[in-house]
Each structure stands twice: as C-alpha cells, then as structure tokens.
Amino acid sequence: MTTQSTYYSNGQSRRSESESETERPVRRKFSKAYKRRIVKEAAECNHGEVGALLRREGLYSSQLTDWRRQEVRGELAEKSPGKKGAKANADEIAKLQAENERLSRKLEQAELIIEAQKKLSQALEQTLTDTRSKR
C-alpha cells in the first residue's frame, strides 16, 4: 500500500485517507475531580463566560449539563476513604449469619426426628419378631 501525502506551502503534510483509517480517535475520560472543577467554574462565570470556558476546555454544553445533573444527584461527590462498601458487607454478613443459625436449628430438628424414627423402627421390628416367634 502506498501512502500519498499532500504538502502545504509551510512544509507540513496532510495524511492520506488510507493512513487516517488505521488511527482511531480515543474517547476522553474525565475524572470526578475535573468534572467538579468545571461545574464550579461554570457556576462562577458571568453571562457569556460559560461558552469561553467550554471552548477553552474543549467541551460541549451537553457535557456540562450532564455533569451538573450528576453533581445534584451526588454522583460527583468524593467518597470517604476506607469506607468503601463496609456497610453493605456488614449487612450481608449479618443476614448470612442469621440464615446459618436458622438452618442449623432446622438441621438439629431433622436429626432428632430421624433418630426417633430409627428407634421406633427398631422397636417395631423387635416386637414383630417377638410375636412371630411366639406363634
């Protein structure tokens, strides 16, 4: 495959279409801290300055709108370190322990019933053999 380049008067080249097909654009990912900073800056802007902020940062107004909604819902708030999922784990552990105790009691009861059935079966078998032998 040959690559064709077009050179401008300033010496820079423009890539051909075949070269640009192999390189794909990378989607930008924004951190929560960055989103909070931009939302805060936009809130401090006067009329008409928000557009300049968006142009400077290379953002769209729809992104700012989404980030404002996320801020209102609390999705951009910093989470306290060390407490990641601790409450959910404690609730889950308590639930599983309660279920474990319930099943243990049920198992004990079933074992007692089985033991009683064995004794009854042995007693009936013994009386049955005793009555047959007396005949």
pTM over 0.95: no
Q: Is 102 left (phi over 0), alpha (psi -120 to 50) or beta?
A: alpha
Which one is predicted more confidently, 63 or 17? 63
Q: Cα(129)–Cα(127) distance, rounded to whole angstroms? A: 5
**Structure token pair of residue 17:** 């279409």
Q: ∠ at Cα 63 (57, 66), nearest 5°?
A: 140
Tens digits of per-residue pLDDT, 29-71?
Answer: 999 999 999 999 999 998 889 999 999 999 999 999 999 999 9
Give how far the C-alpha of residue 6 lies from the chain's centroid of Cα atoms, to the nearest Å.
Answer: 48
Average pLDDT score over residue span 13-30: 71
- DSSP category for residue 28: P
